[in-house]
Amino acid sequence: MENSPLHTSRDTGTGALSLLPGSGGPGFYRLFGTGGDCMFLYAIHHPETGDFETGAGHLADAATLVRDCVIASSNAGRHVDFAGGVKIIRNRLDQGEPP
């Protein structure tokens, strides 16, 4: 997934996440724009806690990921209540790839 868009977030909880710039290609906004009709697959990983979530979401604006539908997670398939610290967020190119 080295070429997939990468962002980070320091937000906590189960809701939308503010995206900070990362590396690894164009950002989500350049690829997907904003609005609920342009959904994409995402993977979130919290390296410090091991929590993860994969799902489908959209951008509310250029820097806010809305987590619409969880596909798999470390919280029994529900939205993860992420703790503080840096989370790594990537576009999921293939559901078979690890988060």
**Is residue 98 included in any domain, yes or no?**
no
**Is residue 17 included in any domain, yes or no?**
yes
What order of strands is seen across the sheet that includes strand 6-9?
Answer: 17-18, 64-73, 52-61, 40-45, 87-91, 6-9, 20-21
Span 36-94, pLDDT tens digits: 678 899 999 999 999 999 999 999 998 999 999 999 999 999 999 999 999 999 987 65
Letter for the amino acid at 88?
Answer: I
Domain residues for 77?
6-91
CA distance 22 to 74: 23
Span 2-41, pLDDT tens digits: 456 789 999 999 999 999 887 656 678 877 877 767 889 9
- Tokens 């320091």 belong to residue: 10
Q: How many separate domains does the chain show?
A: 1
